[in-house]
Amino acid sequence: MLPWNRGVPMGRAVTTPPTSLPQQERIILPLPRGETPLVRVGDPVSRGQRVADGNGDPLPIYAPVSGTVAALDTMELAAGGSCLALILQNDGLDTAADPLELPDDEDALWDSGVRLPGGRPLAQAVTQAAPGLDTLILSAMDREPWHCTEDAALCLDADAVGAGLAFLNRLLHPRRTLLAVGAGQHQAAHAAAPLDCTVMTVPQRYPLSHPQLLAESLGRLPPGQPPQEGDVLVLPVSAVAAFGAALQGTPPIRQRVSVAWKRGHALIDAPMGAPLSAILEAAAAPDGPLLLGGPMTGSPLRHADGPLVPGITSLCVLPPRRHRNGTPCIRCGRCAAVCPMDRQPWLGIGHCLHCGACRYVCPAAGYTPSKEEVLL
């Protein structure tokens, strides 16, 4: 058994070569935030063409493939509700549009259409922190165990990260620019060496890659203060890489998705709008309950019929769980020992990151995992 007081082991943050998803016939681009479509049904589109526009949070959307607009229809969202969606019929020719040209100011962030993992626009995070930024931290550490999208972004797209970083440095003038890598991410640390930033090594344990904890440990943020509102900005390298690629002419039309299950993981390079089921198939993932995000804080996904949208960088397939009721708290204190916020979870006071580390180690938890399910 693993020493419980070491937090949750990160385990697999090692990049495997990504697999490209085979060409998809139909590409679905949802417009959930009220983006304005710029094309009509029947119009031809080329890869990289701007097909929907937005102002503020609805960000522009670019066509991931070339073909024609087959329909502009309402679709059900996996989270409930429905929205308009552009449906593209892929012609398989992969005709490229002119490279993207972005202005050399803050608008570039909005125009690029880049979203952080989770779906928040990159531009929003940056503009909120813009005045008087002290420390810019790029994190090449994955937020959750099992996944490796951040590691992959740095290992495979180091020059795009460099381009994005140069732009951000120009825009924000931070006093310090740091790059956080996990202690085990040797390849990423190597790839980061030429970048214009200081590489900081952080122990590779689960909640430590949380932006707030990185900001506290590297940015010397006073504890308990949310990072984005202070003078520390923590950005995942995958978003900076996507933005750097947009500056170099390629809008965010493809995304690497880490698919992980108990005994394996795969990195799939997929166009936006491809069905998640195709991504799971390409990853050769086993059947099982699906999670959006990582195993610690992910949210259940009822089905994989929906398309890949910006913000989805990781999927989990869980083993079937054996249910069992927990026991009363036996006051072992393990929860408090692993809590990164020095919280006493049984008192329920203090600031909580909702990282789940306390429940991960709790022997009285509401279930006993089957033996096969015990991590790694």
Partner 1 sequence: MNTAPYIHCGQSTALQMLDAAIALLPAAAGAVWFFGLRAAAMLLLAVAAAFATQFLWDRFTGRQELRTLTVLVTGLLSALLLPARAALWAAPLGAFLAVSVKVLTGGIGQNWWNPAALGRAALLPLLCPLALKDCQGTFLMAYLDGAMGEASTLLLLVGAAYLAMRHLLPWAVAVPYLCASFLTAAVLPHCDPLAVVCWGGTILGACFLSADPVTTPMGLTFRVLYGVFTGAVATVFSFYGWGMGGVVVATLAANTAFRAAETIAARLQNTAELEQV
Q: Which is nearer to partner 1, 85 or 312 (CB)?
A: 312
Q: Which of 121, 120, 158, 154 has its CA nearest to residue 248?
A: 158
Per-residue CA distances from 247 to 5, 43, 52, 128, 243 (Å):
44, 27, 19, 21, 6
Q: Which is nearer to partner 1, 246 or 357 (CB)?
A: 357
Stretch that binds partner 1, among 79-87, 166-174, 238-246, 341-349 (CB under 8 A): 341-349
Q: Which is nearer to partner 1, 92 or 289 (CB)?
A: 289
Q: Where do the DSSP E strands lie in 222-360?
A: 232-236, 254-261, 264-271, 290-292, 299-301, 314-317
Which residue in 195, 214, 296, 315 binds partner 1 (CB under 8 A)?
A: 296
Q: Could you give the residue ranges of the DSSP H alpha helices within 195-342?
A: 211-218, 237-247, 276-282, 334-338
131 binds, among partner 1, ligand SF4, none (CB under 5 to 8 A by kind): none
Going residue by residue from 183 to 222, which x/- string records binding to partner 1, judged by CB under 8 A? ----------------------------------------
Stretch that binds partner 1, among 102-110, 124-132, 268-276, 355-363 (CB under 8 A): 355-363
CB 58 within 8 A of CB 35: yes
Tokens linked to 110: 């909005």
- Decide: helix, strand or coil at residue 228: helix
Q: Which is nearer to partner 1, 183 or 365 (CB)?
A: 365
Which residue in 96, 284, 329, 352 binds partner 1 (CB under 8 A)?
A: 329
CB 329 within 8 A of CB 366: no
Q: Which is nearer to partner 1, 62 or 360 (CB)?
A: 360
Q: Which is nearer to partner 1, 214 or 260 (CB)?
A: 260
Radius of gyration (C-alpha) of the chain in whole angstroms: 21
Q: Which is nearer to ligand SF4, 27 or 355 (CB)?
A: 355
Distance, in Å, from the CA atom of 195 to the CA atom of 15, rounded to the nearest integer, reads 19
Which residue in 50, 176, 190, 359 binds partner 1 (CB under 8 A)?
A: 359
CB 4 within 8 A of CB 138: no
Q: Could you give the residue ranges of the DSSP H alpha helices within 130-210?
A: 149-156, 158-172, 186-192
| Pairing of β 26-31 and β 82-90 | antiparallel
352 binds, among ligand SF4, partner 1, none (CB under 5 to 8 A by kind): ligand SF4
Which residue in 38, 97, 297, 353 binds partner 1 (CB under 8 A)?
A: 297
| Pairing of β 314-317 and β 254-261 | parallel
Q: Which of 207, 182, 146, 217 has its CA nearest to residue 358?
A: 207
Q: Which is nearer to ligand SF4, 28 or 362 (CB)?
A: 362
Stretch that binds partner 1, among 92-100, 107-115, 227-235, 315-323 (CB under 8 A): 315-323
- 3 part of the interface to partner 1, by CB under 8 A: yes
Residues that bind ligand SF4 (CB under 6 A): 329-335, 338-341, 343, 345-346, 352-358, 361-364
- 303 part of the interface to partner 1, by CB under 8 A: no
Which residue in 295, 306, 307, 340 binds partner 1 (CB under 8 A)?
A: 295
Distance, in Å, from the CA atom of 55 to the CA atom of 329, rounded to the nearest integer, reads 50
345 binds, among partner 1, ligand SF4, none (CB under 5 to 8 A by kind): ligand SF4
Q: Which is nearer to partner 1, 168 or 259 (CB)?
A: 259
Q: Which of 326, 310, 313, 312 has its CA nearest to residue 359?
A: 326
* Residues found near partner 1 in the complex (CB under 8 A): 1-5, 8, 145, 289, 291, 295-300, 316, 318, 321, 325, 327-334, 336, 344, 347, 349-350, 354, 356, 359-361, 363-365, 367-369, 371, 373-375
